[in-house]
Amino acid sequence: MGRDSFEITVNIVKMFAIFLLMVQAVPILVWLERRGSAFIQNRTGPNRVGPLGLIQLLADAVKFLFKQPFMPERGVAPLYYFAPIAALIPGALALNAIPLSTPIKIEPFEMLGQMWGPYTFLFQGYDIGIGIVFILGISSLGVYSILLAGWGSSNKYSLMGAVRGAAQGISYELALSLALVGILMVYGTLSFKEIVDAQAGPLTFMAFGKEYVIGALPNWGIFYQPLGALIFFAATFAEANRLPFDLPEAEGELVAGFHTEYAGFSLLLFYIGEYGHMMVASALLATFYFGGYSIPFVSPEAVNAFWLAKVDGANTAAILTAVTHHLSLLVRVALFLWIFIHVRWTLPRFRYDQLMSLGWKTMLPWALANVVVTAIWLWLGHRT
């Protein structure tokens, strides 16, 4: 955790900040979703409160705060109240495990009449060696909040939506985790940092024992694993219960799915969980397939040197370097989030049987084929 009070404080604050990053993204994303959908459907969308309707969500949040919370009569109180809190946990825990930028190396400095440091702060909540497996494990716990909400509400539509959601989530989790096997094979590590580091430089690959370099392209995972990336991305839609896979909350059939009985801020907590899930998915997609926080063709040292020349103080430069890389990641994440939103308002919803057969009979076999082809390709390419 840290050697002294400063480091411990910073680390705890850092975790909470990343969690807040997830929370504050929700109003922005909801606004974006509403404005974006209006844009796509040729409407205006919320535009009264504040410039471009930006304050709308703040107003909504205040309204949520003052709504009457109640539980349906036959509901199971502990489960009903715990479910929205549980919805927060997977997203926040997972987001904190992803490196969002380069580590910050702080030289010794003086504060409160005392020398502090040197420190190395990771730009992530905690570094877990088996990062990928940890995130898979944590996000597989997301099913519980759905099931708890469904059961705790004691409403048959909630329960049906919950069970549907759980079945769908686990079905697509298979394709998702199988799609990652390809990436693991290519990089041979479970650590995010090593995966990001491996994606530096120009595109380099081995074929039949010879090395080829394509200078014009960055060395991103998408070029090794195009099919894997596609399956991963599609599966995250289902994992996050987003359209076209939002069967758990199919209004036409199930009222509003597992959170039918929720209102006010507890409903908002579910949304925070869902958007958190999207952010994690986008960050993972960027990390595995699009170079993570790295800037194509520019090494972190070069960025650091650039900032050292601009500002004085090594610590400031280090912080600015990290922020630059973080922005580089945020650009990608924002792009993927927009794709999430765009897809929601473009594609129609699947029928449940189509959804399940897509997951089991199409994506799972393709993901498996991806693994087999990757294995044989790597073997042929690197065999000596």
Partner 1 sequence: MNSVLPASASLIPVLILTLILLAFGTVIIVGTSLLGPKNKKNNRAQMMPYECGIPGIDTTDSKISIKFYLTAILFILFDIEIIFMYPWAIKFMDSIKDGTGGYMLGAMGLFVVLFVVGLVWEVKSKALDWN
Partner 2 sequence: MTADSLLFFILAAMTVGSALVVILASNPIFCSLALAMAMISVAGIFASLNAWFVAGVQLIVYAGAVMVLFVMVLMLFDLKDEVRAFSRGLVSGFFKIASVAVIGGVIAAAVWMSTETIFSTAPAAPTVNATVATKQLADLLFKKYLFSFEAMGALLLIIAIGAVALSRIEGGTHADK
- Of 55-84, binders to partner 1 (CB under 8 A) are 64-74, 81, 84
Q: What are the φ/ψ torsions at residue 74 (nearest 5 degrees)?
A: -100, 15
Report how far residue 170's alpha carbon sits from residue 190's, in angstroms, rounded to the nearest whole number.
Answer: 22
Shortest Cβ distance from residue 24 to partner 2 (Å)?
28
Rounded least distance, CB 187 to partner 1, Å: 8
The residue range among 175-183, 221-229, 287-295, 325-333 that interacts with partner 1, by the rule CB under 8 A, is: 175-183
Which CB, 47 or 191, lies closer to partner 2? 191
User: Per rule CB under 8 A, is residue 173 in the interface with partner 2?
Assistant: yes
The tokens describing 254, both together, are 């199930």
Q: Which of residues 191-250 bind partner 1 (CB under 8 A)?
A: none
Reference 262, options 9, 85, 19, 17; nearest CA is 85
Q: What is the DSSP letter of 74?
A: T
Q: Find which of partner 2, partner 1, none residue 146 binds, CB within 5 to 8 Å per kind.
A: none
- In the numeric block, the tokens 């940890």 are attached to 134
User: Residue 174 or residue 222: which is nearer to partner 2 going by CB?
Assistant: 174
In the complex, the smallest distance separating the C-beta of residue 341 from partner 1, rounded to whole angstroms, is: 25
Cα–Cα dist 340/276, whole Å: 13
Whole-angstrom CA distances from 239 to 28, 146, 177, 249, 274 are 21, 12, 11, 13, 9
Q: Does 2 bind partner 2 (CB under 8 A)?
A: no
CB of residue 90 vs partner 2: minimum separation in angstroms? 10
The angle that helices 156-187 and 364-382 make with each other, rounded to 10 degrees, is: 10
Cα distances from 317 to residues 103, 135, 161, 303, 307, in angstroms, run 12, 31, 50, 9, 5
Read off φ and ψ for residue 93, nearest 5 degrees: -65, -40
* Smallest distance from partner 2 to CB 81, Å: 14
Q: Which is nearer to partner 1, 47 or 362 (CB)?
A: 362
Q: Which stretch binds partner 1 (CB under 8 A): 38-46, 106-114, 167-175, 219-227?
A: 167-175
Position 156 contacts partner 1 (CB under 8 A): yes
Q: How many residues does the chain have?
A: 384
Footprint of partner 2 on 191-220 (CB under 8 A):
191, 194
Neighbours of 158 (CB within 10 A): 28
- Please, what is the minimum distance in Å from the beta carbon of residue 316 to partner 1? 26
Taking the complex as a whole, the smallest distance from the CB of residue 214 to partner 1 amounts, in Å, to: 20
Q: Any contact of residue 1 with partner 2 (CB under 8 A)? A: yes
- The reply to whether 375 sits near partner 1 by the rule CB under 8 A is yes
What CA–CA distance (Å, rounded) separates 304 from 200?
A: 16
Q: Does 183 bind partner 2 (CB under 8 A)?
A: no
User: What is the contact mask toward partner 2 in residues 78 to 107, using x (rule: CB under 8 A)?
Assistant: -x----------------------------
Residue 92 engages partner 1 in binding (rule: CB under 8 A): yes
Query: Per CB under 8 A, does 270 bind partner 2?
Result: no
What is the full DSSP assignment across 249-308?
G-HHHHTTGGGTT--HHHHHHHHHHHHHHHHHHHHHHHHHHS-TTPBTTB-HHHHHHHHH
- Of 43-51, 170-178, 295-303, 311-319, which segment contacts partner 2 by CB under 8 A? 170-178
Which of partner 1, partner 2, none binds 79 (CB below 5-8 Å, type-dependent)? partner 2
The structure tokens listed for 156 are: 């048959």
CB of 264 to partner 2, least distance (A): 24
- Of 9-17, 113-121, 285-293, 333-341, the segment contacting partner 1 by CB under 8 A is 9-17
CB 117 within 8 A of CB 107: yes
Tokens representing residue 23 in the block: 């929370």
3-state secondary structure of 241: coil
**Contact residues: partner 2, CB under 8 A:** 1, 76, 79, 128-130, 133-134, 136-138, 140-141, 143-144, 147-148, 150-151, 159, 162-163, 166-167, 170, 173, 177, 189-191, 194
